[in-house]
Structure formats: structure tokens, C-alpha cells
A and B are shown apart, each in its own frame.
Chain A
Amino acid sequence: MLLSLSWKNIWRKPSRSIVLIIAIAIGLTGGVFTIALADGMLEQRNQEVIDQQYSHIQIHNKEFYDNPKVKDSIPNTHELTLYLSEREDIQNFTSRLKFLGMANSTRSTQGVMICGIDPDDEMLVTTIHDCLIDTSSSYLTAQSTNQIVISTKIAQSLMLVTYELNQDDIDLLLLSKFKPELLDKLLPIIDVSTRSKNAFKDSLRKYLSSDEYENYAEVFTKQSTEYKLNKKIILRFNDINGNLIDEAFKIIGIYETNDAMFDNLNIFVNKNYIAQMLGVSANTATEIAIITTNVDNVKQTTSEIRAANENLLTESFIDLDPMSVWQNEFIGVFYNIIIAFILFALSFGIVNTVLMSVMERTKELGMVMSIGMKKSKVFLMIMFESIMVSLTGGFIGMALGAIITTYFSKHGIDISAYSNAMESFGYDSVMYPNLSFDFFINITILVILTGILSAIYPARRALKLNPSEALRSDA
């Protein structure tokens, strides 16, 4: 009956309670969605890191990281791959020949990590093949010989890029809802080619206003960028015996991930072909990347593989990217702090509403205490009122937040329409908010705590009432 009475008490002044419930609901909807958005971006980024770089588990020779070279390859690769094939918790794995080398174009030179991959196995483990940016780009095949896939960053560094706007680019920009009068300003630079990004931007600056330049320079530059597919670059590296090898490779694909550091370093060639150049057998590998059947058990799988192969360095993506784990843990605390702040702000409203409700019922509280209601029950009744009003707003807020999150987690939020520059900076222009069930449990606990804490002051005021004096009061 106490719960039912508390619930009815909330609705004595419906408008006052509704205003408070709406305030709590709006606060939490905003909080939940903002956090879902941040969590989704982080989750997207973490998933990309796993998909494109680390996989779930990597195995190396313990000496590998000191100076990645072929000499520090994984011993007994054949036995190891047999062992991995037999494990039921491993979905796919691929072996790589990774080592440092130099990439030379006719205009520039850059240090690179040469990744010799088995293209078919690699596609089952990473998604680099999905990161090719040019429609005429292609990925390596098992038959590839002196073909290479490089990143946009390395292409720029090796000056294998030209910047030129042609009529097709203008038509595409028109389709992207750019104003014709803006594009007309670009007429003088149509079909004018330059190899320097800065030179192209200088020409944009010449014809656009400073605001237009600020807003659109990156988009126009990106549209004008043309990578020199089929050009050759020379890779220079040491073979197994320390001899310097120079080998020409034809660029067949250009990739781009959201990780500039990864893109600045890695190039991909066929492992079998590069093994021949290195003078090692096709089985030789310096890295084995693994995808497990269940990412939640990755720690267990890693420690089992580690125990079975003590001479090797076995690391999960958690070991390889400790920053992301730290970020996840930090962000979890951070989310709770955001919600706690929202609820702290809302608690003033809750205290005010509950206190008003207590003050308006002085006589009634005097009566219930007179007829035998214990002070502990009066305290509980007021506490329930505060918790109920908080939870009602809290649940509405969480439900709205969850509905909005669910909708956008399926459809994504395309921010490119509002911020063209975002995309050109390499951020994913479609964000997918995401939230775990645990987070909603945390919020519920925080809402209940807010209700309890907000009730303490009004409830103490009620307990201080003297029944006979309260009965004589006007309220």
C-alpha cells in the first residue's frame, strides 16, 4: 500500500510531476544518445583497427619487434599452422612476411613496411581489400607477381598523385548539391594538372573567397586527386643473406584506412613472390594473424596459444593496442560521470518538487503520524515518491535514447551533408551510435541513487514534524 500511496502522491499535482519527468527524460535522452554516439564512434574505430590491422591475435618471433626483418621469422611455421588449424576457437588465420624496406618512385623515397600476404587468406582475416579507394584499383591475387597495393599517404609521399579538376569532377560536385555559381569560379583551373597539393590549393585560394576556401578546399582537392595506378615503384630490401635487392612493382591498388599511421607505413605484395626475392621458402612467415570464433574469449585463446608456443610472442589485439583498451575503460568511467552530472543537475529539480510536495502535506503527514504511521514509513514513502518520479523520467529518457540509438545504429548518421570537411580529414562520415545493455543498468542504478539522495532532505524535513503541530498547520 505504501508503494501505491507513493505513486498516487506523485500525481497530486500532475503538471508539476510531468514537468519534472519531462526534464529528467530529456536530460537522459540527450545523455544516452550523446554517449551512444561517442561509444559507437569508438566501437567503429576499434572494429576497424581489428579488421584492418591487428586481427584478434598475432604471433611473432620474440625478436621481431626490435628490427622487423626476415631473419627473425617464426620457426616451425608448418607445425604452428597445423596446430592453429586444429583449434576450434579459431575461425581463420593468415601468415605474412613482413619486413622493413624502402620504396622509391622517380621523384621520392620512403621507408615502408613491406607486407607479403597470401591474398586469399588475407581477405578472410583483414578488410584491406575493402579499403581500395579508386574504382580502377584492384587487389592482389594468388597469381600476382610484381604487383603492389599502396596507401594514398604513401602515393602522396612518393608523389604518385596529380591534382586536376576536369568536367567529370565538376558534374559530380553538381550532383553533390554544390552551387553552380561556386563551381563556375573553378572554370579557370579546369583541366590544369599539378603534382603538388599545395600548388593546387594555391590556385583554389586564388579563385575562391576565404570563406569558400575554408569550407570547400579539402573537398575540391580530394575530388581533383588522381592516383597514378600502373606506375612502377622500386622496393629496396635485404634478402635472407643480407644482399640488397631492388625490385620493381606495378601499383595495382590504392587503399586508405582511417589510421594515418598505418597508411604511412604499410604496402602489400604477394607473399609467395616476395619470398622468392628474399630467398626463403613459401612457408616462411614473420607474422601470423588470427581471427577467433568469439572475440569475447580472445584472452583465453591467446593464453592457450601462448602456453603451447612459449618460444613465440603471442599477443591479442588488447596487448597490441592497449590504448584502445584504456580508452574503453576510461570512456566507461567518463560516461558514468556525464550521466552523474546530468542527474546531479536534475536532482535539484527533484529535491525542489519533493520538498514542495512535503510542505504542502504538513497537515496530512501530521495526521498519518497521529494515527500510527511510523517515521520510518513516512521516510520510506517520501523516498519512494522521489525514486518513482526519477525512475519514471529515467525510463522514458532511456527508452527514447534507446529508440533513437537503435534507429541510428541501423541507419547511421551521415554528417557529410553538414560538414564536408570532416570526410576529407579521413573521419568516417557515417556514424553508428552504439550502447551496451550494461550501460542502461548503470543508468538505472544512478537514477535510483539520485532519487534516494534527492529524497533525504525533504524526508528529514517531514520527520522533524511534530504530529500535533502539523495537524494545526494550514498546509
Chain B
Amino acid sequence: MSIIEVKNVNKIYSTSEVKVHAVRGVELNINQGEFTAIVGPSGSGKTTLLNMIGGLDDVTDGNIFVDGTDITQLKDSQMIDFRMKYIGFVFQAYNLIPVLTALENVEFIMSLQGVNKKERRQRSIKLLEAVGLGDRINSRPSRLSGGQQQRVAVARALASKPKFVLADEPTANLDSVSTNTLLEIMKNLNEKEGTTFVFSTHDSRVIEKAKRVVTLEDGKIISDVTK
């Protein structure tokens, strides 16, 4: 069953001088439980496509259905609620809130959802243990390595019980050890919990672990391979 359906989506960035056609007529279905890598060279449109699937960027034309809802028709305020409910985000630069501890960072999105304190604490601890940071729950981001911060970001992305996780180049700032650890964790969550992951990358180590690889070039899908 498709959780994400991208139908003939185009994205054109216009400035007063030039028009950049970042995504051209992309058609893509992603099913529940997939572990999909969107790959391609810099400027191929990976991040733009991910942003549009996450509702962070508007499409120029075309439609994107998430769990049956056409998100291109949602208003800004509806989109914010939708993102909180359906999508988990992992960013390249981790983007944790520096004044909060690892535990509080994970709890944050649940507090936005109105989850009670006891429940969000228990779930946050469980998630941090799942990403191997059970002993660092009270550390602030500045006290954690890049790999550890990205693992907190994964735990945070899962905290809201999203339908899928969008990860934009999650390993771009990590060394090989941290990359392997993170990928193992994501893969485990995918295999054991059935969590759907869609991530952009041009890291060959990540591409190797992906079950499905969608390749973009100049904004078009040039290959879509399921291993």
C-alpha cells in the first residue's frame, strides 16, 4: 500500500533573472515499510523532492498524496498539523535545540502534540535506548558527538509516531563509524518496527544499505531499483 504518492510533480524556482527547473514531472510511489534512498549528484533535486514530500516546499504543479491526503491542497496551518502527525524529520545538520537535553529534545514534539508528561517521558527514554543513547538522556547536544546528535534526531523524528521518516542526507556530516551505527539503527527500526524511511543521500555506504534506490538527475527520475 502506498503511503506516499508523487504524481507528475514539477518544481520551478523563479528569480527575477533565471528560472531553475529543480524537479521535472516526477512520479513516485513509496509503500509502507520501505527503506528508500533517493540518490543523485548535487543539484539533482533530491532535497527539493524531499521538502515537497514533507510539505516544507510548495509544488509548482502536480500532486503529492500522503496516506491518501493531497498535501498540495493543505493550507499552511493544516500542513503544520499534518507534518506533526504524519512525518518525522531528520536533518543533515541534526538541528537539535541546544538548550534542551537529549531527552527534552525527543519530548519536545510530543509536548507540541499535547502528550502528557509521564507518557512522553517514558516514550522518549524508550526511543533513546533504541538508538543506543540510554545513558546520555540528560546530555545537551553540545556534549554529544555528531553521530550521537543524529541518533537523538532519529529518536525525535520517531517520537510523534509518524507514518514515515524523511531524512535529508542524514550521514553527510558523520564519520564512517557513526554512519554505520546510525544506518544499523535505522535499518533495525525499519525491519523490526516497520518504520518507513525515505532519505536523500550521495553516500555510497548508505546506498548499499537501502532496499530501494531512486536515482535523480536534473530533476528527473532516471532509475528506480528495488533490491
Contacts and interface: CB of A to CB of B under 8 A. Distances in A.
Contacts of A11: 99
B83 A471 contact: no
Interface string A5-19: 100110110000000
A377 B91 contact: no
B167 interface: no
B111 A1 contact: yes
B57 A468 contact: yes
A372 B107 CA distance: 13
Interface string A354-372: 0000000001100111111
B56 A471 contact: yes
Contact of A468 (B56, B76, B80): B56
A367 B56 contact: no
Contacts of A371: 83-84, 88-89, 109, 112, 156-157, 160
A253 interface: no
Contacts of B56: 370, 467-468, 471
User: Chain B interface residue count: which class?
Assistant: 20 to 34
Contact of A369 (B80, B93, B99, B156): B80
Interface in B76-116: 76-77, 80-81, 83-85, 88-89, 91, 93, 95, 97-100, 104, 107-109, 111-113
A222 interface: no
A367 B95 contact: yes
A361 to B, nearest CB: 9
Contact of B112 (A8, A12, A373, A468): A373
Interface string A35-54: 00000000000000000000
A374 interface: yes
Nearest to B111: A1
Interface residues of A, number: 22
B44 interface: no
A393 B54 CA distance: 42
Contacts of A372: 80-81, 83-85, 109, 112-113, 160
Nearest to A472: B47
B178 interface: no
Interface string B113-148: 100000000000000000000000000000000000
B60 interface: no
Interface string B38-54: 00000000000001001
Given A1-B108, A467-B56, A363 B95 contact: yes
A299 interface: no
B80 A373 contact: yes
A438 B160 CA distance: 47
B80 A364 contact: no
B23 to A, nearest CB: 14
Interface in A453-475: 467-468, 471
A363 B83 contact: no
B66 to A, nearest CB: 14
B109 to A, nearest CB: 5
20 contacts: A1-B108, A2-B111, A5-B100, A363-B93, A363-B95, A364-B95, A367-B95, A368-B108, A371-B88, A371-B157, A371-B160, A372-B160, A374-B77, A374-B80, A374-B112, A375-B80, A468-B56, A471-B56, A471-B91, A471-B95
Interface of B: 51, 54, 56-57, 76-77, 80-81, 83-85, 88-89, 91, 93, 95, 97-100, 104, 107-109, 111-113, 156-157, 160
